[in-house]
Amino acid sequence: MRDKIIYEYVIELKDSNDDIINILFFNTFSEVQKNLPSGNYDIALVQNIGNDNEDLKDKAYAYFINGKLSETFDNGRQVPQRFL
C-alpha cells in the first residue's frame, strides 16, 4: 500500500526546565497564530508518514527558530516549499 504524508502543526508547551508538559495540535498555521500561549513553548511543523496497513511509519519535526521555519526536518528531509 502506498504511503500517505500528512502535515500538522504543534505547539509544545514547556516547563521551567524546558521539558514538554503538553502538546497542542493544529491543521493550519493560522490556527497556531490564533492560539499562541503565554510562557515557554516551541512551534513545529510535523510530517507524518504511514499507511492503513502499517500505520505510522515515520514522524519528523521542523521547528520555528526566531520566527522562521527550518528548511529541513530533524531527519534531514526538505520541508515542502509551500510551508516556507
Tens-digit pLDDT profile for residues 46-84: 999 998 888 899 999 999 999 999 999 999 999 999 999
Stated length of the chain: 84
Instruction: Give the residue extent of every domain in the chain.
Output: 4-71
Q: Which of 28, 30, 62 is nearest to 44 (CA)?
A: 62
Find out whether 57 and 3 touch, Cβ atoms under 8 Å.
yes
Phi, psi for 31 (deg, rounded to 5) = -65, -40
Sheet holding 68-69, edge to edge: 20-26, 4-14, 41-51, 55-65, 68-69
pTM: 0.91
